[in-house]
Structure 1
Amino acid sequence: MTRFPGYPFASRWFAHPARAGLRQHYVDEGAGEPLLFLHGNPSWSYLWRRPILALRDRFRCVAPDHIGMGLSDKPAAGDYLHTLASRVDDLDALTSHLIADRGAPDKGWTLVMHDWGGPIGMAWACRHPGRVARLVVLNTAAFPNPHGERARLPLRLPLWLLGDTALGARLILRHNLFARGATWRPLGVRRRMPALVREAFLAPYDRPEHRVAIQHFIQDIPLRPRDPAWPILDGMGRELHRFADRPALIGWGLRDPVFDPAMLACWRRHLPRARTHVYPRAGHYVLEDAHEQLVPAIGDFLEGNG
């Protein structure tokens, strides 16, 4: 049995020259058209184990761990800018390396995105629209919260508490509350995770210094125009129409407490031709709750839109 059940993949590493050699871990399995799997907070490439296993015989499956997350290096707060802009730059550097040095094609990429993977992936796509062939969207956003002002008060308080207070630092850094909560019912999943799977999701965040990126992801969530990541999020929201002609699949867990039906409706307006699969009993980690239906649906979509 591997260290992480269902994740029998070789580890690969990219040393970022502009990041003092910080190593980014990624999975690169199979051959064919490239699929770029982008996770969010507080998960890592382990989230993608099932679709990679199902698709690597037909596609090249690339799944990075963002710096500070998963098996990538975990710099201290002062050694790396844990911002959306940095994440997009990191993805740009990694994909450029894969194209220049690892035989990946310049075009024909499919983005598969969850949670923060949506803003990171779509910001990268806005830089390189000609590279993107298809989109797979799973409980994420790439536009300002459609609830507008109504979303700010109920979200601002818990985000401030977790991201900017001493109590929040203790809960996240000392007790790993955010990552643990994401593996619990009903916060992140609606069906109980097997113990070994839950341990695998939590394994990279085994001590406080390995949880810095989790906290900074929370601090970087943009709700208002003065938030640092807002211009990127707002800008990509204005640019999503450029991808309306791309084949797209939306897979959505309706029991997600954050990425709710209003966000799903927003995606459907931006991508009116998208094939949509809704899972009423699935939560935020839709690939954990509904993988029996969702993974084959992704495969069918990719085969039908080559």
Structure 2
Amino acid sequence: MSPPPPLTAAQARRLPDYPFQGRWFGHGAWHQHYLDEGRGTPVLMVHGSPTWSYMWRHLVLALRDRHRCIAPDHRGMGLSDRARDPDGALLAETRAQDLGRLVDHLVTDRGAPARGWTLIVHDWGGPIGLWWSHLHPGAVTRLVVLNSTAFPAPPGYRLPRAAQALRHPALGRIAHTANTVPHLTLRQAPRRPLPQAVRDAYLAPYRHRRDRSALVRFAQDIPLGPADPGWHHARRLGRSLITFTQLPVFIGWGMRDPLHDDLVLAEWTRRLPRASLHLHPRAGHFVLEDAARQLIEDIRDFLAVTDRGT
């Protein structure tokens, strides 16, 4: 069996603004934690690294009166078990497969529809959620993108120096031991300082060395060129975005994000020119923290308008 998560569901409910009754799905040797809140059309929220379902707390609270909000924790993250990844596997692919099994369970056993899903993605949630969508044609009918990517790095893009350093195996091992990834992300990604209790909540699942193996792996999986293992996958993923050119798409973007910069945003708008674009000049990578009130209001409006149009 896989090692259990460092935080129980009861402990998680004591975190700020996270009053949810978590659920669990068994993937054989390991269990995945997810939120399943509200009733109505399903909204699937897919987090990246080094976050977990806690990042969606305010959005879940705002949407669950009209929508069924599903927010999983990826394996090795949040409250999910610390399951080992196959050697050489691309994390975006394995997490998309995990997501597919979870959604299949929700459709088969828990009354969720096979179609009509809204997909909301952030950071690595883009490659994960959009690959799942590609593997399940017709399941997703609306897309919300928050500071993410789903295509090869655009020409001229430069990975921030700290993220670049993590790609070196020795530095990656040091960062894993020192828990550098979540601490550095929480210090730099939000442009507004987070309350200490919120910072502690984000860090809670990654306190022990054994609990954070996936975090450095995600940084090392970023495909920057054809020599990187994930480059071909990123190209296939980018081509799959043509599916969304005729569907409602919302892009909410923190403009002060060194990881997903203006070049990445321009690539989104080039590929999805009909998307509804909502820019937040003073927000960073954690746009849902920096611009929570306005962004959540805009997402609610987008869902309401497109509900009426379907």
TM-score using structure 1 length = 0.92
- Identity over the aligned pairs, expressed in percent? 50
What is the aligned partner in structure 2 of residue 57 from structure 1? 65
What is the aligned partner in structure 2 of residue 254 from structure 1? 255
TM-score using structure 2 length = 0.91
What is the aligned partner in structure 2 of residue 183 from structure 1? 186
Write the mapping of 1:273-288 to structure 2, written as runs, cut at 5 A.
273-288=274-289
Instruction: Give the direction of change, closer, same or farther, for the CA distance of 1:31–1:79 in structure 2 (3 Å limit).
Output: farther
- Please list every run of 5 or more consecutive structure 2 residues that lacks an aligned counterpart in the other structure: 1-11
The structural deviation recorded for 1:160 is 5.5
Deviation per residue, 1:39-86 (Å, 9 max, x gap): 001000000001100000100000001100111011356689562211
Instruction: Give the direction of change, closer, same or farther, for the CA distance of 1:241–1:76 in structure 2 (3 Å limit).
Output: closer
The structural deviation recorded for 1:174 is 2.0
1:161 to 147, 165, 170: 165
The structural deviation recorded for 1:225 is 2.0
Instruction: Give the direction of change, closer, same or farther, for the CA distance of 1:82–1:202 in structure 2 (3 Å limit).
Output: farther
* C-alpha contact 1:77 1:212 (8 A) present in aligned 2: no
What is the aligned partner in structure 1 of residue 214 from structure 2? 213
What is the aligned partner in structure 2 of residue 3 from structure 1? 14
* C-alpha contact 2:49 2:124 (8 A) present in aligned 1: yes
* C-alpha contact 1:83 1:229 (8 A) present in aligned 2: no
Instruction: Provide the secondary structure at the position in 1 that maps to 2:165.
Output: helix
Deviation per residue, 1:216-237 (Å, 9 max, x gap): 1112111122322222211011
Instruction: Provide the secondary structure at the position in 1 that maps to 2:24.
Output: strand
Instruction: Provide the secondary structure at the position in 2 that maps to 1:250.
Output: strand
What is the aligned partner in structure 2 of residue 230 from structure 1? 231
The structural deviation recorded for 1:107 is 0.3
* C-alpha contact 1:85 1:229 (8 A) present in aligned 2: no
- Please list every run of 5 or more consecutive structure 1 residues that lacks an aligned counterpart in the other structure: none
What is the aligned partner in structure 2 of residue 15 from structure 1? 26
**Paired letter, 2:102:** L
Two-structure CA RMSD over aligned residues (Å)? 1.8
* C-alpha contact 1:163 1:169 (8 A) present in aligned 2: no
What is the aligned partner in structure 1 of residue 74 from structure 2? 66
Instruction: Provide the secondary structure at the position in 1 that maps to 2:138.
Output: helix
* C-alpha contact 2:13 2:21 (8 A) present in aligned 1: no
Distance 1:120 1:14 in 2: 18
**Paired letter, 1:92:** G
Distance 2:164 2:183 in 1: 19
**Paired letter, 2:172:** G
What is the aligned partner in structure 1 of residue 104 from structure 2? 96
The structural deviation recorded for 1:2 is 3.8
